[in-house]
C-alpha cells in the first residue's frame, strides 16, 4: 500500500480529550486532516478541538460518548458518514486501568475495563468497517500497551484487555490488508498521561499502599511526553507499519519476554534488585 497521506482525510480518534489522543489530534491537525474527536470528557474535548482548529485542522467535529455503555456505535458511524462521507483513519486510543490483584478486583470493575479497553475497540471497528473498506488506502490503529506484550502481577485486568487488542489487531490485519486497509497495533510504555493517576480502585483503599504505589508509578515511570508518542504513531501510520513499540523500556521488555517467555518476571526482578544495589 502507498504511504498514508493525512491532508483532507477524515480521522476519528477515541480518548481524544487528553494524553496520547489529544496529542494525536493536534499532530494530525497540523497535517490538515479532518478530525472527528470522541471522548466522555466534554470540557477537555472542546478544549482540544479549539486547539486543533487553531493549528490548521481541515475541520473538527466532537462527540461526547462514554465507551463503557456497550453501544454498537452504528448511529455514530451513520452521523460521521453524513457529515464527512466516511472515515479514512480510525484510531482506537481510549483506555482505562484498574488497581488491585485479581483476587481483589470486583467483577463489575473488571467488566467495565474490558468494555472500554477491548470491546469498544471491537465495536468501533465493526461499526466503521464498511466505511473503511469503501475508501481504499484507509487505516486502523489500535492502541494496546506494554502490558499487551507482558503480563505483570497486579495488572491482570489491564493485561487481559491489551493482549486482546493485540490479538484482535494481528488477526484483523491479515483479513484487511488484501482488501486495501492497513492495521497498526501500538504498544506504548511509559507515556506521561493520566491513566495511572486516574485508575479505578477495585477492592483497594483509596488512601492505602496500592493507591500510593499507583501514584508513585505515574510520577516515576510515565515520563515520555504524549506529543513524542503521537509523533511516532503518526510516522508509523504514514509508513503503514504493522506494529509499533514505544519507549526504550517497552522495547527491552519485549525483547526479554521473547528471550524467556515463562521466567521474564523473575529475571526482571533480579535485574531490578541488582540495579538498586549499584
What are the catalytic residues? 158
- Tell me phi and psi for residue 239, to 5 degrees: -85, 0
Residues in the chain: 278
For residue 135, the Cα-to-chain-centroid distance in whole angstroms is 23
Amino acid at each position: 500500500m502507498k504511504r498514508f497521506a493525512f491532508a483532507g482525510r477524515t480521522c476519528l480518534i477515541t480518548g481524544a480529550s487528553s494524553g496520547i489522543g489529544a496529542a494525536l489530534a493536534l499532530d494530525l491537525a497540523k497535517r490538515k486532516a479532518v478530525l472527528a474527536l470522541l471522548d466522555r470528557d466534554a470540557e477537555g474535548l472542546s478544549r482540544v478541538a479549539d486547539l486543533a482548529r487553531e493549528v490548521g485542522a481541515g475541520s473538527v467535529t466532537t462527540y461526547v460518548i462514554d465507551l463503557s455503555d456497550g453501544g454498537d456505535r452504528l448511529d455514530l458511524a451513520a452521523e460521521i458518514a453524513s457529515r464527512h462521507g466516511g472515515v479514512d483513519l480510525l484510531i482506537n486510543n481510549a483506555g482505562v486501568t484498574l488497581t488491585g490483584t485479581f483476587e481483589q478486583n470486583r467483577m463489575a470493575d473488571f467488566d467495565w475495563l474490558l468494555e472500554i479497553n477491548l470491546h469498544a475497540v471491537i465495536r468501533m471497528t465493526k461499526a466503521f468497517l464498511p466505511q473503511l473498506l469503501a475508501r481504499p488506502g484507509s487505516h486502523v490503529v489500535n492502541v494496546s500497551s506494554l502490558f499487551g506484550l507482558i503480563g505483570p502481577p497486579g495488572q491482570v485486568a489491564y493485561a487481559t484487555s491489551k493482549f486482546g487488542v493485540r490479538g484482535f489487531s494481528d488477526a484483523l490485519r491479515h483479513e484487511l490488508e488484501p482488501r486495501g486497509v492497513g492495521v497498526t497495533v501500538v504498544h506504548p510504555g511509559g507515556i506521561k498521561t493520566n491513566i495511572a493517576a486516574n485508575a479505578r480502585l477495585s477492592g483497594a483503599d483509596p488512601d492505602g499502599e496500592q493507591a500510593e504505589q499507583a501514584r508513585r508509578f505515574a510520577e516515576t515511570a510515565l515520563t515520555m511526553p504524549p506529543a513524542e508518542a503521537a509523533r511516532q504513531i503518526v510516522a508509523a501510520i504514514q509508513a503503514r507499519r504493522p506494529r509499533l513499540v514505544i519507549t526504550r523500556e517497552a522495547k527491552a521488555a519485549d525483547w526479554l519476554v521473547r528471550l524467556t517467555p515463562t521466567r521474564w518476571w523473575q529475571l526482571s526482578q533480579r535485574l531490578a534488585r541488582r540495579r538498586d544495589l549499584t
